[in-house]
Structure 1
Amino acid sequence: MTTPRDIHAYLAEMDDIPGTRVFTAQRARQGYHLNQFAMSLMKADNREAFKADERAYLDRWPMTEDQKQAVLARDFNRCLELGGNIYFLAKLFSTDGKSFAQAVSTMTDMSFEDYTAMMIAGGRSPVGVRSIKERY
């Protein structure tokens, strides 16, 4: 019989993956209102209200100030850290007129052209830093 694994310890290990934010239940709770905001952009009237005054529209949602600032800055990495779900945030990309690939490329240290070329060539190399704590 195997020993049950502590789920919290297991999920904490996910934070050691460089550049990756695993969407856990904890992140889902943290980002609930951020993600509800993003999903609201599925409706044309909401997109227009957001575009007309982004801050006023965000203030309708009980998001943290950090979450609102991340949205205003279009800092998608920060949005993910604060509980955003990439598939919900895609509604924001679309509202901005960006493709998924264009938006995701802003989350890397690459230009859109370099990011696209890397993905066409098969994605990131598996060689390199695979652990934050082992990086240093």
Structure 2
Amino acid sequence: MSEQNDRWGIPGTYVFDLQLSRRGYAINRMCNSLKLEENRAAFVADEEAYMSRYGLDDEQKQAVRERDWLRLTQLGGNLFFFLKLAATVGHGLYQIGAQMRGESYETFMKTRQVPGAV
């Protein structure tokens, strides 16, 4: 995905443009479906079947399996959609941010101005 970065000239940033939107359509569609309780239950019961139901390719499935939020972004996942996935598997926004920055949760939280944070 360095080509996408180079095109926009913003190191470490993935601009959610039309190309990336098309690439991530299956991820975002699947994640959006998790707004319904019965879909969350179906995902938790059988992640592989659920991902196949939405047509994720192998690379996308691997990113979901690994809870690799940065890779999901690189593959066209939009944070507003994959937050539904994160919540379904017990991850929060700060955990996502830490992982995307390559930091531990504790290190990441030290950079936030959150009262009572680690």
Shorter-chain TM-score bucket reads 0.7 to 0.9
Report the AA paired with residue 82 of structure 2.
L
Segments of 5+ residues of structure 2 without an aligned counterpart are none
Report the AA paired with residue 40 of structure 2.
R
Match of 1:64 among 50, 57, 65: 57
Aligned residues: 110
Match of 1:110 among 94, 98, 103: 103
Alignment of 1:1-136 (within 5 A): 13-14=7-8, 16-120=9-113
Segments of 5+ residues of structure 1 without an aligned counterpart are 1-10, 122-136
d(CA) in 1 for partners of 2:60, 2:20 = 13
Deviation by residue 1:33-68 (Cα, 9 ceiling, x = unmatched):
110000011001000110011111111012221111
The secondary structure found in structure 1 opposite 2:101 is coil
d(CA) in 1 for partners of 2:79, 2:107 = 21
Q: Which has the larger share of helix?
A: 2
Q: Report percent identity of matched pairs.
A: 40
Report the AA paired with residue 116 of structure 1.
M
- Bigger radius of gyration: 1
The secondary structure found in structure 1 opposite 2:107 is helix
Q: Would you identify which runs of 4 or more consecutive aligned residues in structure 1 move more than 3 Å? A: none
For normalisation by structure 1, the TM-score amounts to: 0.74
Give the aligned CA root-mean-square deviation in angstroms. 1.7
Structure 1 position 18, deviation (Å): 2.6
For normalisation by structure 2, the TM-score amounts to: 0.85
